[in-house]
């Protein structure tokens, strides 16, 4: 059940219980004032035995009613914060899953290919010249590695002037 609906149901239930409680209290008050056998009635026509018994019941009942009412109000108004927490947890799980997939992909590659893929992931659209400097690979070796990764469908290269940009083709 939705927290907001549960909160509304709880508030309605508390109002219903409060109405029953106060009607029951007034009936008890009428019954005890009619049947009171105390010799001395206190001011206002209230029997001292009735006052002590009903007072404890009043406090306990009111405490329960207000506790349930507060819980109902909490459920109605604070559902949004709960959704935000769930959303954040889902985003973190997605990021973690993407990292796990990326790590699995890297396990199928040799060390040089791993360095190239990591550098491209850090800066998608990196030029081959910058990639060469980052990975500390020779120009010809990098070109051969990029050809292999392109054949595997992991990267794509696009012309940019006299050089080429390297993009991750597999979005992880």
pLDDT, tens digit, 9 for 90 and up, residues 106-131: 888 899 999 999 998 888 889 988 99
> Which pairs from 165-171 meet CB under 8 Å and 24+ separation?
165/125, 165/126, 165/127, 165/128, 166/120, 166/125, 166/126, 166/127, 166/128, 166/131, 167/120, 167/124, 167/125, 168/117, 168/120, 168/121, 168/124, 170/105
Place 72 in a pLDDT band, splitting at 50, 70 and 90: confident
**pTM for the whole structure:** 0.49
The answer to whether residues 11 and 77 touch, using CB atoms and an 8 Å cutoff, is no
pLDDT for the residue numbered 6: 85
Instruction: For residue 40, report the phi and psi dihedrals to the nearest 5 degrees.
Output: -120, 115
> Would you say residue 44 has pLDDT above 70?
no
> Would you say residue 97 has pLDDT above 70?
yes
pLDDT tens digits, one per residue of 128-153: 889 999 998 998 999 999 999 999 88
> Would you say residue 99 has pLDDT above 70?
yes
**109-168 fold:** Arc Repressor Mutant, subunit A (1.10.10)
pLDDT for the residue numbered 141: 93
pLDDT for the residue numbered 53: 54
pLDDT tens digits, one per residue of 1-33: 577 888 888 889 988 888 888 888 777 777 766
The answer to whether residues 50 and 104 touch, using CB atoms and an 8 Å cutoff, is no
pLDDT for the residue numbered 29: 72
pLDDT for the residue numbered 164: 86
Place 160 in a pLDDT band, splitting at 50, 70 and 90: confident
Please provide the average confidence, as pLDDT, over all residues in the chain.
81
Unique residue bearing structure tokens 């791993």: 114
Q: Which residues pair with 127 in a beta bridge?
A: 165
Place 172 in a pLDDT band, splitting at 50, 70 and 90: low
């Amino acid at each position: 059940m939705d927290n907001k609906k549960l909160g509304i149901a709880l508030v309605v239930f508390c109002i219903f219980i409060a109405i029953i409680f106060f009607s029951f209290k007034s009936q008890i008050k009428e019954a005890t004032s009619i049947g009171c056998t105390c010799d001395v009635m206190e001011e206002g026509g209230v029997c001292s035995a009735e006052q002590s018994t009903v007072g404890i019941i009043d406090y306990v009942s009111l405490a329960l009613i207000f506790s349930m009412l507060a819980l109902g109000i909490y459920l109605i108004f604070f559902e949004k914060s709960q959704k935000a927490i769930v959303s954040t947890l889902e985003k973190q799980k997605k990021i973690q899953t993407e990292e796990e997939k990326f790590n699995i992909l890297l396990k199928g590659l040799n060390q040089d290919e791993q360095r190239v893929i990591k550098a491209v992931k850090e800066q998608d659209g990196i030029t081959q010249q910058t990639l060469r400097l980052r990975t500390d690979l020779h120009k010809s070796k990098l070109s051969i590695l990029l050809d292999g990764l392109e054949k595997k469908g992991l990267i794509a290269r696009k012309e940019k002037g006299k050089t080429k940009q390297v993009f991750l083709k597999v979005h992880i």
